[in-house]
Amino acid sequence: MDLIPAPRIAVPHEDGHHHAFGADPALDAGPGTEDTARWLRRELGAATGWSLPDAAPGEPGELRLRIDPVRVGGSGPEAYRIDIGADGAELTGASGAGLFWAAQTLRQLLGPDAYRRAPLPGRTWSVPYAAVADGPRFGWRGMMLDVARHFMPKDGVLRYIDLLAAHKLNVLHLHLTDDQGWRVEIKRHPRLTGVGAWRARSRWGHRASPLWNETPHGGFYTQDDIREIVAYAAERHVRVVPEIDVPGHSQAAIAAYPELGNTDVVDTAALEVWDDWGITANVLAPTEAVLRFYEGVFEELLELFPAEVSPFVHVGGDECPKEQWRASATAQARIAELGADGEDGLQSWFIRHFDGWLAERGRRLIGWDEILEGGLAPGAAVSSWRGYAGGIAAAEAGHDVVMCPEQQAYLDHRQAGGPDEPVPIGYVRSLEDVYRFEPVPPKLSPEAAAHVLGAQANVWTEVMEHQGRVDYQVFPRLAAFAEVVWSWQPAPEERDFAGFEERMATHYRRLDALGVGYRPPGGPLPWQRRPGVLGRPIEGEPPNV
């Protein structure tokens, strides 16, 4: 059974028998299973031609759905079991989420053609007699998608939610704002999208490249688009974590509303949405007016991302240059007024303000590990990106952590060292490297390790100008990452990568059926290359920091 991610227990029947489904199997959907039943009829129905009619009263259906945490056992709310025999398949979840993951496993067992959108002529469907018992290692199994540098239209985001769900990943972190674009409609501040969602051109390649794409770039999600994305994700048991970056990475917002910037230092009215990559010096001014402006932004954001599906709100907090604050009389007066520890203390004040503001509204703040600098509010969580060190420090101090170290979990980094690798960024992070990523550093105490909520793979899109480029960078490595965060694995050096590769032979066919433009094992196809477009490759092994 070539399942990815690998289940905790999967025992095929020793005689090798299969259950062959009839032309239109009856579905017996028990109480509370309606959402998964609807998904099966829609997704499996498209691929198989099944309508999955309701089983007749008192008659067992060939496909049975149940929610029964006692039967599943004590492996957490996302656990499930599958029992397949002569009478068909019974899927049991400890909760609705567990049942949904069971349905994803059933789809894999049916074969790659179960991922198509229409049935192939003459195709029949069977699954092996087996017992599967499974549940995830981590509760946070995510991917960060940067839609600010290159905008991904709504349909592409919905497609990625389906791809996450197919791999039993349950968090989509949407990086909605940056220097290069603002991607969410805020009705009280219409210029954020009227101006901030569009840039005149884009650097073609790494920021060292002399090439430019002169086509204006932009786009944004309306508030109804966001509601649709959130609801679509919730149906698939995927939480959406919105990110509004403060106080750095804010030039698009300042271009739209110049008063947000440090007007006593720079002519903010002359700023435009940034067309380059990297870190700009233009950051938010540390004023009460700026706080009120962003409170208004977050008020609208919280309405779009309900607490029951999006308990965390990401505020960025990374890569905030302090030059303008050092030169600003307004900023220096604020430091003196607060008694803050210099500019780092000012950034901490900014983050602490929104931590308290969000907490009062029943949400939890999460930010990149720079929010540790200058002190961190007790309830805040940390996305540890610069390495393990920030996550270790945060966990030892009692803060929850999501591990996403750049050296191990950035999927914009190149996948191989060959000359054909398109726009090569960073260290080589091969499929095997990702498979051997370990989210919990061994040096953590057991008490601190309990604060590691899980991990996420980050996808920064400076050099990913469209969906095909995103697919190439993300897959197949996201499949390896999914197994890391779902499956209970031995130590990295003891993991069976050869066995994973064997299972990937089938999984590539699933990705083919889904239309995913992944990097083939033998290297990029001709149309996936970007000859002459500069990247930023770094040689050697990445530091384990």
| Residue with token string 């002459």 | 532
Of the listed 217, 249, 399, 507, which one is catalytic?
249
Which of 319, 396, 432, 512 is catalytic? The answer is 319
Q: Which structure tokens are listed for 421? A: 């690798």
d(CA 125, CA 111): 8
d(CA 312, CA 354): 12
Active-site choice (134, 146, 178, 406):
178
- Could you give the 3-state DSSP secondary structure of residue 353? helix
- The set of residues, in sequence order, having a beta carbon less than 8 Å from that of 190 and lying 6+ positions away, is none
Q: 433-462: b or e for each residue (b if 16 or more CB lie within 10 Å)?
A: bbbbbbbbbeebeeebbebbbbbbbbbbbb
Distances (CA, A) of 153 to 146, 238, 466: 12, 19, 10
Quote the tokens at residue 295.
Answer: 């409170």
Read off the amino acid at residue 172.
L
CB 320 within 8 Å of CB 370: yes
Give residue 355's identity as a one-letter amino acid code: D
Sequence-ordered list of residues with C-beta below 8 angstroms from that of 211, at least 6 positions apart, any chain: 203, 204, 205, 532, 533, 534
167 is catalytic: no
* Omega cis (within 30) before 542: no
Distance between alpha carbon 388 and the CA centroid of its chain, in Å?
A: 19
Q: Check if the beta carbon of residue 427 is closer than 8 Å to that of residue 542.
A: yes
Residue 493 designated active-site:
no
421 counts as catalytic: no
Q: Are 52 and 58 in contact (CB under 8 A)?
A: no
Helical (H) or strand (E) element with 449: helix 446-449
Closest CA to 488 of 524, 449, 533, 438: 438
349 to 287, 372, 398: CA distances (angstroms): 11, 11, 20
- Ranges of beta strands (E only) in 486-542 are 536-537
| Axis-axis angle for helices 288-304, 223-235 (nearest 10) | 50
| Rounded CA separation 65/45 (Å) | 16
* Structural Rg of the chain based on CA atoms: 24
> How much helix, strand and coil, in percent to the nearest 5, is found in the chain?
35, 20, 45
Structure tokens at 406: 């750049």
As annotated, the active-site residues are 178, 249, 319
